């Protein structure tokens, strides 16, 4: 059997025998000639089969004509034939003149989704939805983006860790926490690898990263929330402030965006109408209090009872940054201690604010980062101020009792980054299989 060739590689081959495989996208079954558009994971090609006509002018029911006539859209087939370069062929300037066609699996003729199907219906039939080139490209972009992040980490001396997702206690807070029976006790799904990233600092790893699942029992039905998501996490030792964390964060994103633009930029522009912009560094930095003043001057008052920014405020400050700096990213810094976890370090000159930040990308928060408090006596004090029990935190505080360097890091939502990079409106599009309050399938 002739070795299978990916469709994207056909253009570089000379005319001659070739074998391809994929699924049937369209069939035109005409009297004198048959056309099949075959798609695989790399692209699409036209298959051609001239019909055999007898001396009496009657079309003969031979192969592969009979098989082609019975083909349904979505069937997976193997095709062998002669590759021909012909600039008149609209689909890539090549075609394959068939000699044989083998059906591996036949598809049900009636397709349950269409181009105009709603997103929930599409999620029900995600495996069919992902055959669309536009949707398929999202996960090729994701692969390139993640590879570039890993390359940056490895080249800069980071250690990859894989932290447990079953925990004996909450990793962040008891809010939005999934619990499940675990033999004779109760376990919890990890909301973040935060505790374990910090443990790695106490272990002397220096710099660590992880790309892995995280879980939030959040009943939100917004376009940017999920109950299970992929978190991109980094933690680094020997920092002077959260400024060091932001520097790593922006350099990491530049590496990821550069790789995506170089490999997929033209295809993204063709299928999404989006030009990928590699962000310049440093990213703009605006203290939260100043950001709120800017937003107020634009005519919007933040609608929150606490000290945080709200979604409309994030959109407004992003618009300001785009207008003022021509930048899609902005670090909002110096969040109030009242809305940050007990382990965020506070400013020595103003303990009411923390050495922390949120990273906003095209109007949506994609990440939270901070310098962590490494002094155990201050950690205990701040935990008590937050209403937490020092005894319940002892397993965590033990990391700090045996020495730990100054450190900090961030966690970033992968699907949100991809959603905003491609200018999509819903992270369901950039999640392979979405999980939300009402979705546990497929």
Binding residues: 172, 216, 365, 368, 372, 413-416
Does residue 367 contact residue 229 with C-beta atoms inside 8 Å?
no
Q: Which residues are annotated as a binding site for ATP?
A: 365, 413-416
Q: Which residues are annotated as a binding site for L-aspartate?
A: 172, 216, 368, 372
Does residue 17 contact residue 66 with C-beta atoms inside 8 Å?
no
Cα–chain center distance at 333? 24
How would you write the chain as a 3-class SS string?
Answer: CCCECCHHHHHHCCCEEEEEEEEEEEEEECCCEEEEEEEECCEEEEEEEECCECCCCCECCCCCHHHHHCCCCCCEEEEEEEEEECCCCCCCCEEEEEEEEEEEECCCCCCCCCCCCCHHHHHHCHHHHCCCHHHHHHHHHHHHHHHHHHHHHHHCCCEECCCCCEECCCCCCCCCCCEEEECCEEEEECCCCHHHHHHHHHCCCCEEEEEEEEECCCCCCCCCCCCEEEEEEEEEECCCCHHHHHHHHHHHHHHHHHHHHHHHHHHHHHHHCCCCCCCCCCCCEEEHHHHHHHHHHCCCCCCCCCCCCCHHHHHHHHHHHHHHHCCCEEEEECCEHHHCCCCECEECCEEEEECEEEEEECCEEEEEEEEECCCHHHHHHHHHHCCCCCCCCHHHHHHHHCCCCCEEEEEEEHHHHHHHHCCCCCCCCCCCCCCECCECCC
**Residue whose structure tokens are 């009411």:** 352
Give residue 16's region: left, alpha or beta (phi > 0; psi -120 to 50): left
Does residue 333 contact residue 288 with C-beta atoms inside 8 Å?
yes
């Amino acid at each position: 059997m002739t070795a299978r060739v990916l469709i994207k590689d056909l253009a570089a081959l000379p005319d001659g025998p070739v074998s391809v495989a994929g699924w049937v996208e369209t069939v035109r079954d005409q009297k004198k000639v048959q056309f099949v558009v075959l798609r695989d994971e790399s692209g699409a090609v036209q298959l051609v089969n001239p019909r055999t006509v007898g001396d009496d002018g009657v079309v003969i029911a031979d192969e592969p004509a009979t098989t082609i006539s019975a083909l349904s859209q979505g069937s997976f087939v193997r095709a062998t034939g002669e590759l021909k370069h012909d600039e008149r062929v609209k689909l890539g300037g090549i075609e394959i003149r068939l000699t044989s066609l083998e059906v591996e699996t036949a598809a049900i003729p009636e397709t349950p989704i269409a181009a105009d199907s709603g997103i929930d219906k599409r999620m029900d039939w995600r495996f069919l939805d992902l055959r669309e080139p536009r949707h398929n490209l999202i996960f090729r972009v994701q692969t390139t983006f993640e590879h570039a992040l890993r390359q940056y980490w490895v080249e800069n001396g980071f250690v990859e860790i894989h932290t447990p997702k079953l925990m004996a206690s909450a990793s962040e807070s008891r809010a939005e926490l999934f619990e499940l029976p675990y033999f004779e006790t109760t376990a919890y799904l990890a909301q973040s690898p935060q505790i374990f990233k910090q443990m790695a600092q106490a272990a002397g790893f220096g710099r660590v990263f992880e790309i892995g699942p995280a879980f939030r029992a959040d009943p939100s039905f917004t376009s940017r929330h999920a109950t299970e998501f992929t978190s991109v996490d980094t933690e680094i030792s020997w920092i002077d402030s959260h400024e060091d964390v932001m520097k790593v964060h922006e350099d990491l994103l530049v590496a990821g965006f550069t790789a995506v633009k170089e490999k997929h930029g033209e295809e993204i522009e063709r299928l999404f109408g989006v030009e990928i912009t590699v962000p310049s560094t440093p990213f703009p930095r605006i203290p939260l209090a100043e950001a709120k003043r800017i937003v107020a001057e634009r005519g919007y008052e933040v609608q929150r009872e606490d000290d945080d920014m709200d979604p409309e405020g994030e959109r407004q400050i992003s618009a300001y940054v785009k207008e003022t700096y021509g930048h899609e990213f902005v670090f909002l810094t110096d969040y109030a201690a009242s809305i940050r976890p007990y382990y965020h370090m506070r400013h020595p000159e103003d303990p009411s604010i923390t050495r922390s930040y949120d990273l906003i990308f095209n109007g949506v928060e994609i990440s939270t980062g901070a310098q962590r408090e490494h002094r155990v006596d201050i950690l205990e004090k701040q935990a008590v101020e937050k209403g937490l029990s020092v005894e319940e935190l002892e397993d965590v505080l033990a990391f700090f009792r045996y020495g730990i360097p100054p450190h900090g890091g961030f966690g970033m939502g992968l699907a949100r980054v991809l959603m905003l990079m491609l200018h999509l409106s819903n992270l369901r599009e950039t999640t392979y299989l979405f999980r939300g309050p009402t979705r546990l399938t497929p």
